[in-house]
């Protein structure tokens, strides 16, 4: 297309019958007061959508409109326009062929931006029109930090090999501009890429000849980059300094935490170091404090699960247990319950190792075994603080379990976690730990078991033809009804890093300690309790909940089968 001309967006939308003259007049009045762009006012008032505006502009300019959510991006093409300029100009190179360079712009009528893109790329430019929100998301996808991280790691290797290189300068200790130190810039890029990729953990692992950096995304590890093994010591040392750990101790594991702020996101980082054959392995758990407010309303629990959990935490006393393996979201569920309970008329004390979420209004205690500040010791002290609600991070041993149970029998609501495979086996597990049977029957109110399954990427979701083993497995769960459902799978796209999944959601099962279950528990035969619990659950198991999500198109049959295999172990 030729060099674009300016467009009066209000007149164009009226011409396209997307806006009325009265609406335009109202928006012009607001624009004079606020100075905001007209298009943004139209969108905020929900008169038109971004995509409608973009398509109308594209028709007026006789330019193509591109849906970036359906577009595979090429990092090498995007690199023709440096990231700093791409974000400033709101422009993204899409196709580089023998002809003009095709560049996506949210505002193709910005003549200055058009001319600067052409000057910076030294190319003739053909514009395509895109929605602004899609462009901003595409910029994050296109300018990934993988190559930058590798380049910074090479730079750090070179600096470390230099005779003149001072370790203090490399770590940012000897000058006021510590952010310019090579290792600091490397770690900043790692954290920024982890945030973009929605990683929950960063693994920094020294190997024999290289340093491997991996991200855990939606529960699965992905290699991010591999660097020269020489940088491993400097990276571990800087991270230990940031978290206040003992930098002289490399033979023992250490734990700590620190905070970073990236792109207006406050990240709480839990760090664990462990000595290995080739150096210190570092794992960091990222807790995004800006990711949204906790609360049962935001959990999107199944209706029956939410009703039962609200009933349990509304009681003035008793114990509520959430069970599942490490990384199954137990702490998030408990903190969502605490946020619901958090009010000025309740005293809430948490006893944790480590403290994962920091909520105002709570009295949170970090367990520290090396000074004998153990779960049971803190829990005994907490009971003398006149609490209404106590959260115990984990029922690790008989002493902690017994103290928690006694607290729940004497007017306190106690929330905690336990590592068991399902809801039914939890009361029996407590008895096996040595907790008296009568205490379990009297104090336990509810057991909620959960797992996390990956959610199908909505951008690349497509119908999935069942494999023979999937069909047979579903037939055992659904019977002939399996033929009535359409199942989906993600083919992989830029939005989901070609995995087919974006994010995770929970699957649940629960039991409530009704009179029938209490009597069965006191009967002394585990089989009697199990039978009564199964009657109460009526098939509402973790496996069945995973199947339900698959039939709704929220997850895949493969994920449902994976969760079921874990439960059956």
Strands 220-228 and 444-456: unpaired
- Which two structure tokens, joined as six digits, stand for 122? 């030294």
Alpha-carbon distance of 351 to 339, in angstroms, equals 16
For 393, phi then psi, to 5°, come to -50, -40
Supply the pLDDT for residue 558. 92
Could you give the CA distance from residue 285 to residue 114 in angstroms, rounded to a whole number?
42
Long-range interactions of 364-372: CB distance < 8 A, separation 24+: 367/393
Tokens standing for residue 481 = 């009804």
Phi, psi of 554 (to 5 degrees): -85, -35
Per-position DSSP letters for 503-522, written without gaps between them: EEEEEEEEEE--HHHHHHHH
Are 9 and 57 in contact by the 8 Å Cβ rule? The answer is yes
Q: Residue 6 has what pLDDT?
A: 63
Spatial contact of 389 and 347, defined as CB atoms under 8 Å apart: yes
Alpha-carbon distance values, 211 to 81, 167, 227, 245, 417 (Å): 30, 19, 5, 21, 35
Q: How many CB atoms lie within 10 A of CB 28?
A: 12
H-only helix segments in 130-249: 132-142, 146-161, 167-171, 182-196, 232-242
**Neighbouring C-alpha atoms within 13 Å toward the C-beta of 154:** 7
Q: Hey, what are 441's tokens?
A: 């029957």
Give dist(CA 390, CA 363) in Å, integer. Answer: 10
Task: Give the integer Cα–Cα distance in Å for 385 and 362.
Answer: 13
Tell me how far apart the alpha carbons of residues 420 and 428 are, in angstroms, rounded to a whole number. 10
What length does the chain have? 569
176: phi then psi, degrees, rounded to nearest 5: -75, -25
The pLDDT value recorded for residue 349 is 93
| Residue among 461, 549, 546, 455 nearest 503 (CA) | 455
Q: Hey, what are 276's tokens?
A: 């290995």
Q: What are phi and psi of 215, to 5 degrees?
A: -110, 140
d(CA 8, CA 134): 22
CA nearest 197: which of 177, 213, 211? 213
Quick one: pLDDT at residue 173?
44
Residue 92: CA count within 13 A, CB half-sphere = 26
Other C-beta atoms within 10 Å of 287: how many?
18
pTM summary value: 0.72
Please state whether beta strands 210-217 and 220-228 pair in parallel, antiparallel, or not at all (unpaired). antiparallel
What is the rounded distance in angstroms from the CA atom of residue 54 to the CA atom of residue 64?
10
pLDDT, block means (10 residues), the chain with 569 residues? 63 80 84 79 82 83 83 80 85 86 85 88 88 83 65 63 47 48 81 85 91 89 84 88 89 88 80 93 84 72 93 94 90 91 92 82 85 84 91 87 89 92 91 90 93 90 90 87 88 78 92 92 85 91 93 92 76
Task: Please report the DSSP string for 398-453 in residue order.
Answer: HHHHHHHHHHHHTT-EEEEEE--SSSTHHHHHHHHTT--HHHHHHHEEEEEEEEEE
SS3 annotation, 151-179: HHHHHHHHHHHCCCCCHHHHHCCCCCCHH
Q: Which helix (H) or strand (E) holds 454?
A: strand 444-456
**Residue 372 backbone dihedrals phi, psi, to 5 degrees:** 65, 30
Do 246 and 271 touch, CB atoms closer than 8 A? no
Q: 227 near 157, Cβ under 8 Å?
A: yes
Contact residues for 407 (Cβ-Cβ < 8 A; gap 6+):
379, 383, 390, 414
C-beta neighbour count of 499 within 10 angstroms: 17
Alpha helices in 209-318 (DSSP H): 232-242, 303-314
CA–CA dist 110, 5 (Å, integer) = 8
- The H or E element that residue 121 is part of is helix 111-121
Smallest Cα–Cα separation from 370: which of 216, 235, 253?
A: 253
Rounded CA separation 163/274 (Å): 29
CB 541 within 8 A of CB 522: no
């Amino acid at each position: 297309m030729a060099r674009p001309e300016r467009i009066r967006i209000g007149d164009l939308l009226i011409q396209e019958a997307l806006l009325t003259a009265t609406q335009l007049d109202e928006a012009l009045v607001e624009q004079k007061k606020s100075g905001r762009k007209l298009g943004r006012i139209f969108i905020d008032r929900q008169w038109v959508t971004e995509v409608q505006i973009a398509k109308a502009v594209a028709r007026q300019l006789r330019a193509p409109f591109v849906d970036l959510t359906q577009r595979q991006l090429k990092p090498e093409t995007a690199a023709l326009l440096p990231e700093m300029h791409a974000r400033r100009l709101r422009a993204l190179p899409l196709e580089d062929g023998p002809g003009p360079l095709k560049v996506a712009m949210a505002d193709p009528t910005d003549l200055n931006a058009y001319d600067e893109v052409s000057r910076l790329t030294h190319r003739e430019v053909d514009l395509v029109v895109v929605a602004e929100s899609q462009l901003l998301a595409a910029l994050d996808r296109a300018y990934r930090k993988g190559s930058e991280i590798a380049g910074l790691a090479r730079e750090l290797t070179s600096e470390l090999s230099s005779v003149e290189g001072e370790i203090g300068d490399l770590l940012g200790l000897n000058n006021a501009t510590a952010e310019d130190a090579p290792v600091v810039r490397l770690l900043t890029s790692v954290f920024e890429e982890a945030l973009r990729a929605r990683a929950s953990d960063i693994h920094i692992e020294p190997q024999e000849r290289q340093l491997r950096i991996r991200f855990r995304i939606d529960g699965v590890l992905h290699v991010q980059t591999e660097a020269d093994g020489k940088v491993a010591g400097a990276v571990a040392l800087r991270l230990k300094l940031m978290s206040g750990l003992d930098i002289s101790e490399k033979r023992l594991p250490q734990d700590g935490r620190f905070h970073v702020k990236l792109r207006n996101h406050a990240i709480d980082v839990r760090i664990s170091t462990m000595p290995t054959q080739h150096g210190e392995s570092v794992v960091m758990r990222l807790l995004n404090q800006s990711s949204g407010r906790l609360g049962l309303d935001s959990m999107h629990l199944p209706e029956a699960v939410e009703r039962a959990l609200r009933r349990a935490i509304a009681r003035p006393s008793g114990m509520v247990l959430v069970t599942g393996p490490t990384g199954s979201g137990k702490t998030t569920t408990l903190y969502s319950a605490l946020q619901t309970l958090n009010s000025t008329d309740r005293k809430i004390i948490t006893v944790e190792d480590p403290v994962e979420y920091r909520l105002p209004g709570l009295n949170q205690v970090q367990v520290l075994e090396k000074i004998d500040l153990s779960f049971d010791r803190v829990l005994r002290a907490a009971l003398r603080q006149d609490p209404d609600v106590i959260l115990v991070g984990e029922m690790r041993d008989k002493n902690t379990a017994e103290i928690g149970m006694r607290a729940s029998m004497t007017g306190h609501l106690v929330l905690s976690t336990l590592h068991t495979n399902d809801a039914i086996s939890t009361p029996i597990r407590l008895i096996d730990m040595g907790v008296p049977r009568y205490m379990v029957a009297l104090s336990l109110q509810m057991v909620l078991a959960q797992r996390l399954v990956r959610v199908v990427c909505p951008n690349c979701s497509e119908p999935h033809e069942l494999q023979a083993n999937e069909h047979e497995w579903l037939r055992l769960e659904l019977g002939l009804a399996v033929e009535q459902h359409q199942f989906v799978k993600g083919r992989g796209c830029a939005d989901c890093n070609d995995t087919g999944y974006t994010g995770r959601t929970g699957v649940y099962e629960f039991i409530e300690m009704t009179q029938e279950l209490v009597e069965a528990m006191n009967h002394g035969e585990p089989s009697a309790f199990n039978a009564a619990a199964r009657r109460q659950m009526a098939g509402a198991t973790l496996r069945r909940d995973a199947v339900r999500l698959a039939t709704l198109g929220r997850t895949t049959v493969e994920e449902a089968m994976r969760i079921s295999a874990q439960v059956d172990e």
